[in-house]
Amino acid sequence: MAGEERFTEKEAGHTSHILDSLEKKVLDGAGISREEAIQLSRLGDATLYRLFAAAGNIRDVRAGKCIDLCSIINAKSGGCSEDCKFCAQSSHYHAKVEIYGLLSIEEVLERAHQMESLGVKRFSIVISGRGIGKKDLERVLEIYRCLNRETNLKLCASLGIIDRQVADKLKAVGVSMYHHNLETAESYFPHICTTHSYVERVETIRAAQEAGLEVCSGGIISMGETMDQRLELAFTLRELGIKSVPVNILNPIKGTGLEGREILPPLEILKTIAIFRFILPGAMLRFAGGRENALRQLQALGYIAGINASLIGGYLTTPGADIGQELQMIRDVGLE
Ligand code: SF4
């Protein structure tokens, strides 16, 4: 028994040493390696809350305590040709989802004004589909010109796979950030989508960056990938220089290709978020879809474990958290 206790103490000392030294390394401005991230992911449950606290401290020092709030509008819904298994808008599956063509300027503007009045700073038009056709693009550009004139919102766009010419046009009408998730690790992507490749997604990100747009790109966790694959995604995002990283958690919507998939336990999700903060210390690590369902009462711990941005006001095909409650939660954990 005494021997077991000594072993436990020794183990605890070793664990604490790893955590302290990696926290210091990141606070000093260095990046952690893939092996070091794997070491963090192997730390036992006894260290979890210390890991969350360390990630929160890294966020405070490297990214600040201010939470970036953004909102989206699903401006064209459903009927997508692609077979992304998680998505309710794919025409390959049978999820019940609204199907409609591009919304009018008035409809988008109304939503933008509503979000701005609630304190949201960024607003994105999102459309379903592999990419955007010529006619829809002209209309979307017109909507952005209007948003630029009539609001003070920072404008983001999420229009699927685009090339440099489209990225240039978006930049010219005042869009500052392009959203395009990598969705998951390259090694897991073929299990999630077969109608387009990971390379096409990376090329879209590069085209947006070359046009001078910032890029928002993250993924969805709990789609059956391993922890190592989640870390693989985070390192790819770091290599691409991504500054805004949405962390979605799978919502296994009925009728999608991932219907019925079991969601990871909340503490495993929070551990992933904390390690993402170690890997991407200065990024806007953004709470996005699925968290209400997956984290339930533990959502505030996400903010403690390194989150510093949030998508509020509803997601593409599911409602989001109450905005007032979200702002209260942010204040309650001491963030701004
Ligand atoms: S994620 Fe985008 S590309 Fe994939 S099925 Fe959904 S709308 Fe289509």
Range of the domain at 48: 2-60
106 and 88 housed in the same domain: yes
Least confident of 8-17, 166-175, 210-219: 8-17
Q: Indicate the top mutation candidate among 72, 77, 84 to test ligand 1's pocket, ranked by most ligand atoms within 8 A of CB.
A: 84
Q: Between 97 and 8, whose confidence is greater?
A: 97
Report the separation in Å between the CA atom of 80 and the middle of ligand 1, taken as the mean of its atom positions: 6
- Residue whose Cα lies nearest atom 4 of ligand 1: it is 84
Residue 114, both tokens: 């509503």
Report the separation in Å between the CA atom of 187 and the middle of ligand 1, taken as the mean of its atom positions: 19
97 and 42 housed in the same domain: no
Of 43, 56, 50, give the one whose Cα is nearest residue 14.
43
Q: Is the CB of 130 under 6 A from ligand 1?
A: yes
89 and 155 housed in the same domain: yes
Query: Structurally, how many domains does the chain consist of?
Result: 2
Q: At which of 20, 41, 60 does a domain end?
A: 60
Q: What is the mean pLDDT of the chain?
A: 92
Distance CA 213, CA 129 (A): 21
Q: Is the CB of 128 under 6 A from ligand 1?
A: yes
92 and 229 housed in the same domain: yes
Q: Indicate the top mutation candidate among 72, 74, 82, 318 to test ligand 1's pocket, ranked by most ligand atoms within 8 A of CB.
A: 82
Of 189, 187, 221, give the one whose Cα is nearest residue 289.
221
41 and 108 housed in the same domain: no
8 Å CB contact between 207 and 163? yes
Report the separation in Å between the CA atom of 212 and the middle of ligand 1, taken as the mean of its atom positions: 25
The tens digit of pLDDT for each residue in 247-297 reads 999 999 999 999 999 999 999 999 999 999 999 999 999 999 899 899 998
Distance CA 25, CA 237 (A): 20
The tens digit of pLDDT for each residue in 204-255 reads 999 999 999 999 999 999 999 999 999 999 999 999 999 999 999 999 999 9
177 and 195 housed in the same domain: yes
Distance CA 318, CA 266 (A): 20
Average pLDDT value for residue range 2-20: 64
- What is the number of residues in the chain? 336
Distance CA 247, CA 218 (A): 6
Q: Is the CB of 82 under 6 A from ligand 1?
A: yes
Q: How confident is residue 316, by pLDDT bands cut at 50, 70 and 90?
A: low
Average pLDDT value for residue range 177-202: 97
8 Å CB contact between 326 and 287? no
Report the separation in Å between the CA atom of 44 and the middle of ligand 1, taken as the mean of its atom positions: 36
Distance CA 306, CA 333 (A): 12
Q: At which of 17, 41, 60 does a domain end?
A: 60
Q: Indicate the top mutation candidate among 93, 130, 201 to test ligand 1's pocket, ranked by most ligand atoms within 8 A of CB.
A: 130
Report the separation in Å between the CA atom of 88 and the middle of ligand 1, taken as the mean of its atom positions: 8
39 and 94 housed in the same domain: no
Q: At which of 60, 78, 103 does a domain end?
A: 60
Read off the CATH number of the domain in which 324 is found.
Answer: 3.20.20.70
Residue 104, both tokens: 């009018």
Report the separation in Å between the CA atom of 206 and the middle of ligand 1, taken as the mean of its atom positions: 19
84 and 188 housed in the same domain: yes
Q: By percentage, how much of the chain surpasses pLDDT 70?
A: 94
Report the separation in Å between the CA atom of 86 and the middle of ligand 1, taken as the mean of its atom positions: 9
Q: Is the CB of 90 under 6 A from ligand 1?
A: yes
**Predicted local confidence at residue 45, as pLDDT:** 86
Report the separation in Å between the CA atom of 65 and the middle of ligand 1, taken as the mean of its atom positions: 33
Pairing of strands 175-179, 154-158: parallel
Structural Rg of the chain based on CA atoms: 20
275 and 311 housed in the same domain: yes
8 Å CB contact between 37 and 279? yes
31 and 98 housed in the same domain: no
42 and 80 housed in the same domain: no
Phi, psi (rounded to 5 degrees) for 237 = -65, -40
Judged by DSSP in three states, 127 sits in strand
69 and 163 housed in the same domain: yes
**Predicted local confidence at residue 324, as pLDDT:** 82
Atom of ligand 1 nearest to the CA of 130: 3
